A = this chain, B = another copy of it.
Amino acid sequence: MELKNHRDLETIKFGQQLVFDAYGCDYEVMDSITECTKILNELVDLIKMRKLLEPVVVNASPNTAVGGEDPGGNSGFVIVQESHISIHTFSKRGFVTIDVYSCKSFDETLVIDYLRNKLKPKDFDTLSLGRGLKYPKENIY
C-alpha cells in the first residue's frame, strides 16, 4: 500500500505510559499469582480500560543466567483496547515493576495510590512518559 506524503502531517500525542518500580513490597501479594492477576484486573477497572483478552500471569522460576540476580516471581500482562498493563514481581527481593500504557489519558495518581495501598512498598519510583509524540491525527494509508 502506498504511503501518503509524510510531510505536513498534523500530529498529536498518541498516549501515556506510567512506569512504576516499587521496593520492599508485601511478600504475600507479590508471590501470589491470584493477587497479581487481581492487580491487573483492578487496574483495568480503575482507569476504565477494556480488556481484549483476560490477563495472563505465570510463575517465573529463578534465573541463574543473570548472575543470581533474579530470585523468581510472577510475570503478567493484560492487553487492553487502550494498549497494555504489565507486572513483574521478584518476591524475595521485594521488587515489583509495573507499566501502565494507554492511548487514553488517565489519572496517574489514582494508579499510584492503588498500587501503594496494594503492595505496601517501603519506597517506589515513578516516571510518566508521553508515547507516540508524532502520531498522525488522520489516517495516512
Contacts and interface: CB of A to CB of B under 8 A. Distances in A.
Contacts of A97: 14-15, 83, 101, 131-132
A12 interface: yes
Number of copies: 2
Given A84-B86, A134-B125, A141-B94, A103 B70 contact: yes
Q: What is the size category of the interface that chain A forms with chain B?
A: 35 or more
22 contacts: A3-B24, A3-B122, A15-B97, A19-B131, A21-B134, A23-B136, A27-B141, A50-B65, A52-B60, A53-B58, A56-B77, A63-B103, A65-B81, A66-B82, A71-B139, A77-B84, A84-B88, A90-B135, A92-B141, A93-B135, A94-B136, A97-B101
Interface in A98-131: 99, 101, 103-104, 122-123, 125, 127, 129, 131
